[in-house]
Amino acid sequence: MVEYHLEDIDENSFRADFKWHAPRPLLLNAITLHATQAVIDFACYIAPEDSDPIVEGLRELQKRARLLSRLHEEFLILKLRDI
């Protein structure tokens, strides 16, 4: 939320103003990695013997988020070379 202006909905809530510009993947990746790790930790704590399928799916999502981050960085490097 650091990158976007916030709009008040009422006195107890707000929302991001995405009209400012398109969201950049860095923030979304960071949120994805932290949220998935939190869910993995929670699942392992609540049901350690039954959490393997959930953990496996979330690890795959983390892997994809890291791949997206790497590919985005490579894209930016190529884009800067063209300037």
In a domain, 16, yes or no: no
In a domain, 10, yes or no: no
Residue 20 sits at φ, ψ, to 5 deg, of -60, -50
Report the distance separating Cα 76 and Cα 68, nearest Å: 12
Residue 51: predicted pLDDT: 97
Better-scored residue on pLDDT, 26 or 70:
70
Residue 2: predicted pLDDT: 47
In a domain, 3, yes or no: no
Better-scored residue on pLDDT, 76 or 82:
76
In a domain, 4, yes or no: no
- Per-residue pLDDT at 20 exceeds 70: no
In a domain, 69, yes or no: yes
Vertex 27: Cα angle to 21 and 32 (nearest 5): 130
In a domain, 8, yes or no: no
Neighbours of 17 (CB within 10 A): 11
In a domain, 66, yes or no: yes
Query: pLDDT confidence of 3, banded at 50, 70, 90?
Result: low
In a domain, 19, yes or no: no
Better-scored residue on pLDDT, 6 or 39:
39
Report the distance separating Cα 36 and Cα 15, nearest Å: 22
Amino acid in position 65? A
Residue-number span of the structural domain to which 50 is assigned:
24-81
Q: What's the domain count of the chain?
A: 1
Residues of the chain with pLDDT > 90: what percent?
A: 59
- Per-residue pLDDT at 8 exceeds 80: no
Cβ contacts of 24 within 8 Å, gap of 6 or more = 3
